[in-house]
Structure 1
């Protein structure tokens, strides 16, 4: 679909340019949000007649976006989700979810303004870009955790997907030679020799052979 842009949009073009975009993108985002008009003679004439007002309105939108951006830039938002021991989410955190989470803290961010390439499927602290305007982008942190307590630990820098976090440092340190080798004789050989386990029977035979 050909549209007339009413504001500068990323790599599409500048205000007043006629560009071709996907029909879904135009119908679901550009047209309903007032960022573009369907390209035809009537709308072209309308744009030319209202060009100054459109430019002024765009500047006001940019100022509003900058104000919101200044408030949320670098801010951390927590998403509590169910996940397995490895940190893999049973579901995911989508752009819509992030929009709602930010909205719950009093900031208006549309789903289409959340620049998420694919849903988040792992616990952790994730950087997410929020495109509030073609000329205003900020980055927020989405702290995805299994509980508020875990979110605090992650915010402090703890990796809850590490081996130590999953199984406990104590368990990791308690692994000893008896657990690694199949029998006590092998383990004792390693402890005694400080290297590879020796074959006790073969050693005994070698000792019996005359030198």
Structure 2
């Protein structure tokens, strides 16, 4: 029996895969639990159309991310923080401050997409990794300066 998976199943396949299973497993477990639907000709057509539209949307999102990445290539940020005489910051610079600095430069990047190579806990220069898309990643240098 052929079915179309609605979600990833570890031993069977990934979402939107068409797989062949034993009839009892499909009718008694996968379909009633909502993990799969029958692979009828009309369901296969709907799946093909949905995959085509999803691929188009993903390509557009990737192109937008690449455009932002090209603009971010020559951006250098400066973030102010309160620091002691030895150069140690009171607290730490976090992703919210980097996202705000990027927003001030005209780039709207979600703070959850920002990571650091090393945590900025002293004054100096650091690198922020921006994951704009699963295939598009950008390294943005920033400097932590005393306020």
Query: TM-score scaled to structure 2, two decimals?
Result: 0.66
CA RMSD of aligned residues (A): 2.7
Q: Matched residues in 1 for 2:142 and 2:66: separation? A: 20
Contact 1:126-1:142 within 8 A present in 2 as well: yes
Report the CA distance shift for 1:48/1:97 in structure 2 as closer, same or farther (over 3 A).
Answer: farther
Report the CA distance shift for 1:119/1:50 in structure 2 as closer, same or farther (over 3 A).
Answer: same
Q: Matched residues in 2 for 1:50 and 1:143: separation? A: 45
State how many pairs are aligned.
113
Between structure 1 and structure 2, the one with the greater Rg is 1
CA offset at residue 97 of structure 1? 1.7
Report the CA distance shift for 1:40/1:48 in structure 2 as closer, same or farther (over 3 A).
Answer: farther
Residues 1:41 and 2:36 aligned together: yes
Cα-to-partner distance string for 1:166-206 (whole Å, 9 max, x where unaligned): xxxxxxxxxxxxxxxxxxxxxxxxxxxxxxxxxxxxxxxxx
Task: Find the counterpart in structure 2 of residue 92 from structure 1.
Answer: 92
Matches within 5 A, 1:1-211: 17-18=14-15, 40-41=35-36, 49-116=49-116, 119-147=119-147
- From the two aligned structures, give the one with the greater helix fraction: 1
CA offset at residue 41 of structure 1? 3.3
Give the gaps of 5 or more residues in structure 2. Answer: 1-6, 16-33, 38-42
Report the CA distance shift for 1:118/1:127 in structure 2 as closer, same or farther (over 3 A).
Answer: closer
Give the gaps of 5 or more residues in structure 1. Answer: 5-15, 19-38, 148-211
Contact 1:127-1:141 within 8 A present in 2 as well: yes
**SS at 2:71 equivalent:** helix
Contact 2:118-2:126 within 8 A present in 1 as well: no
Q: Matched residues in 1 for 2:73 and 2:51: separation? A: 32
Query: TM-score scaled to structure 1, two decimals?
Result: 0.47
Choose between structure 1 and 2 for higher RCO, CA contacts under 8 A separated by at least 6 residues: 2
Contact 2:117-2:129 within 8 A present in 1 as well: no
